[in-house]
Amino acid sequence: MTAKRPFRIAVMAVVVALSVTACGRDAGGDSPPERGDKAVAKVDGKIIWASDVKHEAVAQGLVGEGEPLDTSSDLFRRMMDEVIDQKLLAAEARRRKLDKDPAAQRRLIAAEDRVLGDMLVENQVADAVTENAIRGLYEEQQKLSRRSMEIRARQIVLATAAEADQVKKLLAAGAAFEALAMERSRDAATRFNGGDLGYFTTDVMPEAYETALNGARVGQVVGPVAVEGGFALVKVEDVREEQPIALDAARPQIVRFLTYDRIRDLLEKLRAKAKVETLIKPEAGAPKAVPPADAPKVAPVPAAAQPQTKGTAK
């Protein structure tokens, strides 16, 4: 084992080690806990499986639930060392009979509640978040979404309106827009790609662009437009119907919505059947709890799956 790992890891391991001893049961065994599992170490004759190491990496947020973890990688070796430490700490805690202490018992029960709750959630999510469910919600959203027209344009940003008028005359005389953008534009983000802004809908642009481009035709140069940093000339390259967000791009947010929806539904049913009594009252004037800003909104379909804007605008 490596000797230079931070002391905080050992402290975290003590907490996890206590949960391993929950109700005096050990999760070890000679049979693989998962299909295709692999024994990777032994501690006093008890096997540590590759899945044990993977679960530790997932718990620490170092890999995702569905991501692979190569047993030959440095991360796997580091996580395996931590699992070994946990086993050693748990065994020592048992030897000292810390698992018999009343305070420890309550913490062990709480740890077991968390593990069982997580397993129930995983089970419910596996049933709800299927490929058919993801595709079905995606297709439903595509049918309901309203698509705008989107524009592909290039820009040249100049310091003054007079300079912009001068460049516009050069364009009218046949100068290449892309070449003048590279030579004269002040916008560092688009200058070296010929002023290309990509595809966008006008509603995401600054108001000056939106007004100038309203009704513009392919090939038309509009401006000068007063913008941040100077005055812009904008050439319309293409106009098309807004493209829908691809399924692969929408998938993470759809999965998140389906997960939240299933767990919310499960908790509502469980609370309806249970007798839950709150024995403390909120203080007068205390603010009400609000969900995190990134919590999914309860809606028929996920707002996150709405088509997104293509390209960037400066």
pLDDT value for 287: 64
Report DSSP state, residue 149: E
Tell me the pLDDT tens digit for each residue of 190-223. Answer: 999 999 988 888 777 888 888 888 888 899 999 8
The shares of helix, strand and coil residues in the chain, as percent rounded to the nearest 5, are: 50, 15, 35
Q: Average of pLDDT values for 126-153?
A: 81
pLDDT value for 303: 40
**Residue 83 predicted with pLDDT over 80:** yes
CA torsion 44-45-49-54 (nearest 10°) is: 0
Tell me the pLDDT tens digit for each residue of 260-282. Answer: 888 888 889 988 898 888 888 87
User: pLDDT grade, residue 9 (50/70/90)?
Assistant: very low
**Residue 1 predicted with pLDDT over 60:** no
Q: Average of pLDDT values for 137-165?
A: 84
Q: Which two tokens stand for residue 312?
A: 């960037």
| Of 283 and 98, the one with more pLDDT | 98
Phi, psi of 155 (to 5 degrees): -135, 155
In angstroms, the CA 174 to CA 169 distance is 9
The 3-state DSSP class for residue 151 equals strand
Among 63, 67, 87, residue whose Cα is nearest residue 14: 87
Domains, the chain, in order of start with CATH, read: 7-106 (no CATH), 149-241 (3.10.50.40)
